[in-house]
Amino acid sequence: MNPASAPLPPGVLSIALVSEHASPLAALGGVDAGGQNVHVAALAGALADRGHRVTVHTRRDAPDLPDRVTLREGVEVHHVPAGPARPVPKDRLLPYMDEFGRCLARVWRARTPDVAHSHYWMSGLASLGAARELGLPLLHTYHALGTVKRRHQRLADTSPPERIGCEIEVGLGCDRVVATCRDEVAELIRMGVPAHRIGVVPCGVDTERFSPVGPVAPRGPLRYRLVQLGRLVPRKGAAVSVAALARLPDTELLVVGGPPADRLDADPEVRRLRDVARDAGVAGRVRFTGGVDAGRVPALLRSADVVLCPADYEPFGIVPLEAMACGRPVVASAVGGQLDTVADPGTGRLVPPGDPEALARTVAGLLADPAARRACGAAGRRRVLSRYGWARIAAATETAYCEVLDAEPATTGTG
């Protein structure tokens, strides 16, 4: 008998995670590769550590990818043939979700998991029909909401026009929404998702890899270093950090993320940020690393005096947790999940989004006070250890699965 199809021991769940565009195998730093990839990979591993069997279903985006790949013991990645076998921007994937869902139904009919957990709205849409057909419990995590994106990006929002309606359909049709922060719960309730169908389980962080102890990336000759880490897209607020740097003498800004270093010159966002830096008179104090291997990230964070997270909006935001786990103070915009993760003034500071003057003033206060930076770093490490380790997140997620499995079948208003 195939071990994958053999009956599981009592208490061991067969779990299907669906992440249509964010593969746990993807290199990080690209436009569509960031926190969700990290979240899905880490959650799958932490659930496997609890003894469960996990399959991550993600879209095949290259012709040479095998059908299935073992990510680690207890975790398998299934490449779903839906759409062309090449990279497609996530905002153009909706036409392939029916095909994705039909493939899920075939796979789940042959090897039915105990529970499915979809990640991002299109994964939810693809999973909904298959889960209904098989009577399979379905939980859903949005990672980002179209209502918030449209509110902030307006005409620059490239999401399909159907997105918000589909998100509502998923929220009403699944058995449980697993939100990542309180701000998201409020938004979902405004969208019409009943509060009793929503629970909160935050994202997590690897507290062993992200630790105050370990290598520190070399620094330049300036006295202070600020680090901003993440995808290089306008909403992440790197332009705010660059503008703030003009008010922070003897300080360098390291911007980590984006395309590989050898393609930085061709990247539109890098070119825009370099123009901002030149206009602000700080071009010589801003350095772009490009996308870096995940193994280098902790050393880069440890090299910072302060880590900046000044996004215009942030559905959750893993970088503050990674910085806090490394014992570094965080200055973040007071939006989304950062309202939950960054304790002001304990672990860092919260500032209004889009305000370079407020960011500079707050950072300057921390740079001038080494004792405050050390206290914030130590408190941040304690906060992460007590709330955001992946073992704790996996246990909370497992509890959500068991609550849905133990409940009577949900009756929804969708048909």
Q: Do 101 and 144 have their domain in common?
A: yes
Domain range spanning residue 367?
A: 224-388
275 lies in the same domain as 134? no
* 11 band by pLDDT with thresholds 50, 70 and 90: confident
- Given a cut of 60, whether residue 151 has pLDDT beyond it is yes
Distance spanning both ends of the chain, measured CA to CA:
38
Residue 117 and residue 41 in one domain: yes
Q: Residue 412 — very low, low, confident or very high, per pLDDT cuts 50/70/90?
A: very low
Residue 332 has pLDDT above 80, yes or no: yes
Write out pLDDT tens, residues 340-372: 999 999 999 999 999 999 999 999 999 999 999
Residue 212 belongs to a domain: no
Q: Which residues contact 238 (CB under 8 A, 6 or more apart)?
A: 228, 232, 255, 269, 273, 310
Same domain? 290 vs 169: no
The three-state secondary structure class of 179 is strand
User: Does residue 413 lie within any of the structural domains?
Assistant: no
Would 136 be classed as within a structural domain?
yes
Task: Collapse the DSSP code of 351 into the 3-class scheme (helix H, G, I; strand E, B; otherwise coil) and give the result.
Answer: strand
Residue at 219 is within a domain: no
Q: What is the pLDDT of residue 57?
A: 98
> Based on the domain organization, do 260 and 133 belong to the same domain?
no
Q: Please, which residues have CB within 8 angstroms of residue 171's CB and are 6 or more apart in sequence? A: 140, 177, 188, 191, 192, 193, 197
Judged by DSSP in three states, 74 sits in: coil
Judge whether residue 414 has pLDDT over 90.
no
Residue at 218 is within a domain: no
Is the pLDDT assigned to residue 18 strictly greater than 60? yes
414 domain residue, yes or no: no
Would residue 396 count as lying in a domain?
Answer: yes
C-alpha 359 chain-centroid distance = 23
Residue 33: pLDDT over 90 = no
What pLDDT, on the 0 to 100 scale, is given for residue 409? 55
**CB distance 172 to 191 below 8 Å:** no
Residues 152 and 259 in one domain: no
Q: 266 and 173 in one domain?
A: no
The single-letter code of the amino acid at 228 is Q
Nearest one of 357, 299, 308, 364 to 331, comparing CA atoms: 308
Of the pLDDT bands very low, low, confident and very high (cuts 50, 70, 90), residue 34 is low
pLDDT-wise least confident of 33-42, 52-61, 229-238, 388-397: 33-42
Q: How many domains does the chain fold into?
A: 2
DSSP conformation letters of 335-360: -TTHHHH--TTTTEEEE-TT-HHHHH
Same domain membership, residue 198 and residue 107 = yes
308 and 383 belong to one structural domain: yes
Which pLDDT value is given to residue 1?
Answer: 36
CATH of the domain at 284: 3.40.50.2000
pTM over 0.85? The answer is yes
Closest CA to 330 of 314, 353, 351, 312: 351
83 and 169 co-located in one domain: yes
Helical spans, DSSP H, in 50-83: none
Residue 83 shares a structural domain with residue 155: yes
Is the domain of 64 the same as that of 161? yes
In DSSP terms, which residues pair with 59 in a beta bridge?
A: 80
- Whether 342 maps to a domain, the answer reads yes
